[in-house]
Amino acid sequence: MLRPRDPGAGAAFEVNHSTAQLVSALRHPRVLRDIVASPLRPIDAATVVRLVLDGVLEIGLDGRFVSGLDAWEHLCDPPARRAPAHRSTRLTLEALAYGERLLPMSVTMLAYRLYRYNTIPASPRWRARFPSSSAVAEALGITDMERHPRFREQGWAAHARAGRTEPWFSWFREPARRANSTDVPTYKLYASPEPAAIRDAFQTAARLIIDSDAFAFKVGGDVFGLLRPDKLVVYFASHRALMKTAAALRSALRGTRAQGVPFTAPLDADGLISCGVDPPLPRNGDLMESESWRLRVAGRLAASMAVASSGSSRALTPARFALARLALDGIDLLSPSGSRAVQKFTASLGAPRP
């Protein structure tokens, strides 16, 4: 693990053994070719570039050492300027502009603020409408859904509900749940109706999900869960299955007012349907407890913005630097096609794209 001395200046992250050795060898300034036995392979050169952009290493330029934003123009091409074509993309840019106004701020707190962007405040009106998890369950019609014959016929079961306040109501299809324990990515479909329309949207979506190839889905279980943008999440083992269900949901939910989910790949123009992909779970990992796509993305963006905020270059704003740095890892949040963006990131994991 590489950890910054100042937790507010960057994020901790995993590296492999050879990268750790390289960082250790460069604790004091040295010429790179003097400590590398042979010319760097492209993949190793890319690792060095990423370490410089992340503020782990510095490079000597014009008598001074620089990293992060100040090193970008010397190592990378300028990122293309693209106008957001979808509401989800516009929300991502708005969230990052909001994050810039919060700088300087610790990476952890900035990531949390980005992650929670576009959450509706839990006003007295909403608290009165959804005062408890049981009130949410009644409002959504969860009991009726679970008693539907197709729910059992398709092998669905409710996740254990232990407390009186549930952050999520969640369901699994048991055979598919076991199949998903292999080292493959998890494809996630987000549906984001406005809270006022949640019952009709949930009932419509649930009927489609039950008969789809999804292996799990969840919906916010209290007032805070229903007011967050990513209030309904569906899990798939393949990109093809996700896209099939997304098309059906777009048609069935046409006309539903959308809230919109930042930091997801858009699958429609209005922000109602979007997607993401989680890397493979660790062995014995819990799907519902693992770090989510959005939390992972928000954390990486926050770390890059924190690094950029200490730079003196005006070539890029911290937000544009963070987006461009994330794109180097295969996550293009401004892609005009959410489907292609997710497939590209899946390829960067070295995983098949079923």
Encode pLDDT of 307-338 as tens digits: 999 888 888 999 999 999 998 888 888 876 66
Same domain, 187 and 248: yes
In a domain, 85, yes or no: no
Handedness of CA 90, 95, 101, 105 (dihedral sign): negative
Label residue 347 by pLDDT band (50, 70, 90).
low
pLDDT at 291: 64
Residue 181 has pLDDT above 70, yes or no: no
The structure tokens listed for 67 are 């990293």
What phi and psi values does residue 169 have, to the nearest 5 degrees?
A: -100, 130
Q: Residue 9: pLDDT band by 50, 70, 90 thresholds?
A: low
Report whether pLDDT(27) > 50: yes
For residue 152, being part of any structural domain is answered with: yes
- Domain assignment present for 204: yes
Is position 277 within any domain? no
Phi then psi for 272, rounded to 5 degrees? -75, -40
Give yes or no: residues 171 and 242 share one domain.
yes
Residues 246 and 137 in one domain: yes
**pLDDT of the residue at 354:** 43
Helix extents (H) in the chain: 17-25, 32-35, 42-53, 69-75, 87-102, 107-115, 124-129, 133-140, 142-147, 149-153, 174-179, 198-210, 223-227, 239-252, 293-309, 318-327, 338-348
Predicted local confidence at residue 214, as pLDDT: 96
Element (H, E) at 235: strand 232-236
Three-state SS at 175: helix
Domain's final residue, options 209, 242, 259: 259
Q: Check: pTM over 0.75? Answer yes or no.
A: yes
- Domain region containing 138: 124-259
Mean pLDDT, range 134-161, rounded to an integer: 91
Confirm if 108 and 167 have CB atoms less than 8 A apart: no
Q: Is residue 321 part of a domain?
A: no
Instruction: State the angle between helix axes of 293-309 and 87-102 in degrees (0 to 180), rounded to the nearest 10.
Output: 40
Question: In the chain, pLDDT over 70 holds for what percent of residues?
Answer: 86
Asked whether residue 299 is domain-assigned, the answer is no
- Whether residue 29 is preceded by a cis peptide bond, meaning omega within 30 degrees of 0, is no
Domain end among 48, 75, 102: 75
Residue 83 pLDDT level (bands cut at 50, 70, 90): confident
Mean pLDDT confidence for 176-191 = 71
- Same domain? 53 vs 142: no
Q: Is the pLDDT of residue 93 over 50?
A: yes
Q: What is the per-residue pLDDT across 29-59, written as a single tens digit (0 to 9) for each?
A: 888 888 776 777 777 788 888 899 998 899 9
pLDDT for residue 221:
93
The average confidence (pLDDT) of the chain is 86
Domain boundary among 213, 237, 259: 259
Question: Is 57 in the same domain as 128?
Answer: no
Q: Are 42 and 136 in the same domain? A: no
Residue 65's SS3 state is strand
Q: Is the predicted pLDDT of residue 80 greater than 70, yes or no? A: yes
Look at strands 59-61 and 64-66 and give their pairing. antiparallel
Considering only residues 163 and 7, tell me which one the structure prediction assigns the higher pLDDT: 7
C-beta of residue 166 within 8 angstroms of C-beta of residue 222: yes
For residue 127, report the phi and psi dihedrals to the nearest 5 degrees. Answer: -65, -35
Q: With respect to residue 332, please indicate whether it lies within any of the assigned structural domains.
A: no
Is 90 exceeded by the pLDDT of residue 26? no
User: For the segment 202-252, what is each residue's pLDDT rounded down to a tens digit?
Assistant: 999 999 999 999 999 999 999 999 999 999 999 999 999 999 999 999 999
134 and 199 in a common domain? yes
Q: Name residue 171's beta-bridge partners.
A: 158, 217
Query: pLDDT: is 124 or 161 the higher one?
Result: 124
- Planar angle of CA 326, 29, 318, nearest 5 degrees: 25
What would the two tokens of residue 290 be? 């693992």
Give the pLDDT of residue 336.
Answer: 67
Contact of 168 with 202, CB cutoff 8 Å: no
Please check whether residue 183 lies inside any domain of the structure.
Answer: yes
The residue ranking higher by pLDDT, 42 or 67, is 67
Sign of CA dihedral 307, 308, 310, 311: positive
Same domain, 136 and 70: no
Same domain, 44 and 133: no
| Whether residue 129 is found in the same domain as residue 240 | yes
Residues 248-301 have pLDDT tens digits of: 999 999 999 999 999 998 999 999 999 998 877 655 555 555 568 899 899 999
Same domain, 52 and 157: no
Q: For residues 308 and 225, what is the distance between their CA atoms, to the nearest angstrom?
A: 32
User: Rounded CA gap, 13 and 107, in Å?
Assistant: 13
pLDDT for the residue 352: 45
Give the confidence band of 351 by pLDDT, cuts at 50, 70, 90.
Answer: very low
CB atoms within 10 A of CB 38: 7
Q: What is the DSSP string of 88-107?
A: HHHHHHHHHHHHHHH-S--H
CATH of the domain at 160: 3.30.2430.10
Q: Are residues 148 and 228 in the same domain?
A: yes
Q: How many domains does the chain have?
A: 2
Q: Taking residues 169-183, report their average pLDDT.
A: 67
